[in-house]
Structure 1
Amino acid sequence: MNWLAHLLLSEADVESRLGNLLADIVKGTVREELNSNIQHGIKCHLVIDKFTDSHIVVQRSKDRINPSYRRFAGVLVDVFYDHYLAKNWSEYSHVSLDEFTAKIYKSFQAYQGEIPVTVTEMITRMAVEDWLGAYRNVAGVENTLERISKRLSMRCLRRPSSFAVRGASRREVRATPLTPAVSELTTHYDAFEDDFQEFFPELISHVQNWCLV
């Protein structure tokens, strides 16, 4: 799942939500220096990822992806599922999507704890451009894929020796912009939505059980 789902499934405090967000961005020693509540959010993110990556319905969605994008199928399905979450938001939340995202943005921008400067800058952009609310539109999905392409390319250039994206090589990341893959969403639109609607309630139950442990 991508950021919207991670934030919805997170425990409802700013540091847990930050952890769910930062798990994709902050690595290594920088991650280890974050406080325990943020670390808890990171653990929740990893629980979500592990369950998602191993689920048979998610694999079915990945198998729908054209072979030219197959090494990025996990990334694409994560983003596509967030689109369906935004589209069907009222089925999963008692507050509107706009109310939820506004609360997220406000709490992140007001946070006074220690987080990397680059994350603070990203959070500002997220709020200004409404990255979370934009998932509801296909155009927003396309913009998300463009940002992911840029982030993966930059990560590859900074840390070439340790780079890995679900089996993708460094050359593939540089040569394969993900933005055109939005066509995979439109081509299999109803099938992806059926997959999401079958999978997401199971993910919710899994995360709720994990929080009770």
Structure 2
Amino acid sequence: MNYLAHAYLSFHDPALTVGNMIADFVKGKQLLQYEERVQTGIRLHRAIDEFTDTHPSTLMAREYFQPSCGRYSAVFIDIVYDHFLATDTTIFTEKTLASFTENVYSILDERHDTLPPVFQQVFYYMRTQNWLYNYRLMNGIYKSFNGIVRRAKFLDVTADAPLAALEDHYENIAMHYRTFFPELIAFVKTYPH
């Protein structure tokens, strides 16, 4: 899952939110530098990723990106799942998504000095470009795809390739999200935290 899902799956707990958002930037024993609830959020993030990466629906959804994106298909499906979450009317309306994202930005801003330095830079762009809200829009997804393509060392396509895969298989991928996400929520609710 990508940033929006990790924030949502923290269920409004500020320390879990911070941990869930910074986890990819915390390596090895750096985990111990954080308060216990933030550590729990980091561990939760890793458990969410493991559940997501091995879920049959995710594995099937990745197949749509495989021909053009190869091993990067997992990265693209994480972003796509955030799109489906942002547009999931059982969870968010346009207004509640806007409110939710502002709340997440406020939580991260209040703890800015404790965030890993690289994530501080990521957070600057996340907030100023409103990534969490813009996952709702195809243009926001395209910008996220473009960022992945720019940073990927072994991906020889433009952002048009994963966008075309999403557009061509939109309903099928949405079906995979609808199967997968309730199971992920149930998993997180049983995760020890």
Runs of 4+ in 1 over 6 A off after TM superposition: none
Q: Which residue of 2 aligns with 1:91?
A: 90
Provide Cα deviations, 1:66-105, integer angstroms capped at 9, x if missing partner: 42312111111111111011111x3125881011001111
User: How many residues end up aligned between the 2 structures?
Assistant: 192
Instruction: Give how far 1:110 is off.
Output: 1.8
Contact 1:109 1:124 in 2 (8 A): no
Instruction: Give how far 1:31 is off.
Output: 3.9
Paired with 1:106 and 1:66, the residues of 2 have a C-alpha distance of: 37
TM-score, scaled to structure 2: 0.88
Residues 1:189 and 2:170 aligned together: yes
Identity among equivalent positions (%) equals 30
Q: Which residue of 2 aligns with 1:203?
A: 184
Paired with 1:130 and 1:190, the residues of 2 have a C-alpha distance of: 26
Instruction: Give how far 1:133 is off.
Output: 0.3
* DSSP-derived class of the 2:26 partner: coil
TM-score, scaled to structure 1: 0.81
* DSSP-derived class of the 1:91 partner: coil
Paired with 1:30 and 1:152, the residues of 2 have a C-alpha distance of: 25
Instruction: Give how far 1:179 is off.
Output: 5.5
Paired with 1:28 and 1:146, the residues of 2 have a C-alpha distance of: 29
Deviates more, 1:52-61 or 1:118-127: 118-127
Provide Cα deviations, 1:138-196, integer angstroms capped at 9, x if missing partner: 1101111222334445xxxxxxxxxxxxxxxxxx24x4555631111111011111110
* Paired letter, 1:44: L
Residues 1:15 and 2:15 aligned together: yes
Paired with 1:87 and 1:141, the residues of 2 have a C-alpha distance of: 12
**Larger RCO, structure (CA 8 Å, separation 6 or more):** 2
Paired with 2:149 and 2:113, the residues of 1 have a C-alpha distance of: 29
* Paired letter, 2:19: G
Paired with 1:96 and 1:203, the residues of 2 have a C-alpha distance of: 21
Contact 2:18 2:107 in 1 (8 A): no
* Paired letter, 1:204: I
Deviates more, 1:71-80 or 1:142-151: 142-151
* Paired letter, 1:24: D
Residues 1:33 and 2:33 aligned together: yes
Report the CA distance shift for 1:151/1:65 in structure 2 as closer, same or farther (over 3 A): closer
Q: Which residue of 2 aligns with 1:156?
A: none
Deviates more, 1:142-151 or 1:2-11: 142-151
Q: RMSD across aligned C-alpha pairs, in angstroms?
A: 2.2
Report the CA distance shift for 1:38/1:148 in structure 2 as closer, same or farther (over 3 A): farther
Deviates more, 1:179-188 or 1:129-138: 179-188
